Structure 1
Amino acid sequence: MSTIKINIVSSSEEIYSGEATMVFATGTLGELGIAPGHTPLLTGLAPGPVRVQNGTEEEAFFCSGGFLEVQPDLVTVLSDTAERAESLDESEAIKAKEIAEQELANKDTSIDYAKASAQLAEAVARLKTIQKLRKKQ
């Protein structure tokens, strides 16, 4: 079975480096499935899961956004922040979502709506990642 090398890097550290038979990520224009020999591609990443399959094994990560570069034998994920999906805290994500929703509901003009919207999108993506993982188990 052919494989593709994948590196997942956050702004502070390398999160993962290994081989995969398939990589799935959430691009800014939708879901991507990347197999060995894929056409070169550069795209933005939306907040969401990055799944790395190697045969029957699968590892999942949460990326808050960034870029995805694909070469025929290499996938590089450059993420603002990234973490292993099993370390995601559901109660923390729910709290972040509620705080962002409260800020957006606040009519105070000093609120940075773009920042609050981005925080809400990231919190929702974290929750969706947690829920997807729960369904697979």
Structure 2
Amino acid sequence: MKTVTVNIVTPDGPVYDSEVTMVIAKTTSGEIGVLAGHIPMVAPLAIGAVKLKKEDGSTELVAVSGGFIEVRPEKISILAPSAEAATDIDLTRAKEALTRAEGRIQKKQDSIDFQRAELALKRALNRINVREGNM
């Protein structure tokens, strides 16, 4: 099966750079699957996991907190505000972030804090799910 180069980059630097057979990502309009030779496109990403299928049949997961995916026939680039490979996620820290976000949501002090807490909750849940492989 043909492969395509995938780069996942954040403002802090590269997170992933390898050859894969398929990329599955959650965009703001739904989930997409991309193979080598796909027509060019750009799409905004939602908070979610990027699944990277390797030639040997294994799958790697990377948690992204939004951003964009740019697809070209020979290369896929993902630009995200933050991204972590499943193996790099500190599960204890992610669970602590989840607890903090849940506490802020229960307070509901004002709409801005509520929206920020909701986003923090989604990011924490995403990181936990990616780390535990529940995607």
Please indicate the TM-score interval, normalised by the length of the shorter structure: 0.7 to 0.9
Q: 1:130 aligns to what?
A: 131
Contact 1:103/1:111 (<8 A) preserved: no
1:1-137 matches, within 5 Å, as 1-55=1-55, 56-109=57-110, 112-131=113-132, 133=133
Aligned sequence identity (%): 35
In the aligned structure 2, how far is the partner of 1:110 from the partner of 1:79? 25
In terms of mean alpha carbon deviation, does 108-117 or 61-70 score higher? 108-117
In the aligned structure 2, how far is the partner of 1:114 from the partner of 1:15? 27
In terms of mean alpha carbon deviation, does 40-49 or 101-110 score higher? 101-110
What stretches of structure 1 of length at least 5 have no aligned partner? Answer: none
Question: Structure 1 length normalisation: TM-score?
Answer: 0.86
Regions of 4+ moved over 3 Å: none
Amino acid at match of 1:29: S
Give the number of aligned pairs. 134
Contact 2:22/2:33 (<8 A) preserved: yes
In the aligned structure 1, how far is the partner of 2:112 from the partner of 2:102? 12
Q: Indicate how the Cα distance of structure 1 residues 4 and 100 shifts in structure 2: closer, same or farther if over 3 A, else same.
A: same
Find the residue that maps to 1:130 and give its secondary structure: helix
What stretches of structure 2 of length at least 5 have no aligned partner? Answer: none
Q: What's the Cα RMSD here?
A: 1.9
